[in-house]
Amino acid sequence: MQITRELVEYVADLSRICLDGASEEKMERELGAVIEYMEVLNALDTDGVEPLSHVFQVTNVMREDAVAPSSPREDILAGAPEATGQTFVVPRTLE
């Protein structure tokens, strides 16, 4: 893929950045170098190489989800400053 001045201007417009003439030339060279390097990488033989989603092996560290009995409602509500028979009573936040 050839990086042209028009392509640099188009990408700059999409990025909403303003480039002067010298910056456009610099971007044209730098983007061209990136594309050339990608072509080198595309030429590499990657048969048998497992794709990575992360550079470190990621394992699930969470415990198994097991159903267990909950604490009794009365015990939980006993520590509340104010409660009805079923719920906590909190100050009103909206008028």
Q: Half-sphere exposure of 49 toward its Cβ, with a 13 Å CA cutoff?
A: 7
- Closest by CA to 77, choosing from 65, 93, 88, is 88
pTM for this predicted structure: 0.48
Angle at CA 88, nearest 5°, toward 82 and 90?
A: 75
pLDDT of residue 92: 87
pLDDT of residue 24: 92
pLDDT of residue 53: 80
Average pLDDT, the chain: 89
State the DSSP code for 92.
Answer: -
Q: Summarize pLDDT for 56-79 with one digit per residue, the tens.
A: 887 878 888 889 999 998 888 988
Q: Is the pLDDT of residue 21 over 80?
A: yes
Q: Which CATH class is domain 5-43?
A: mainly alpha
Alpha helix ranges (H) inside 44-72: none
Residue range 18-47: average pLDDT?
92
Could you tell me if 46 and 23 are in contact, meaning their C-beta atoms sit under 8 angstroms apart? no
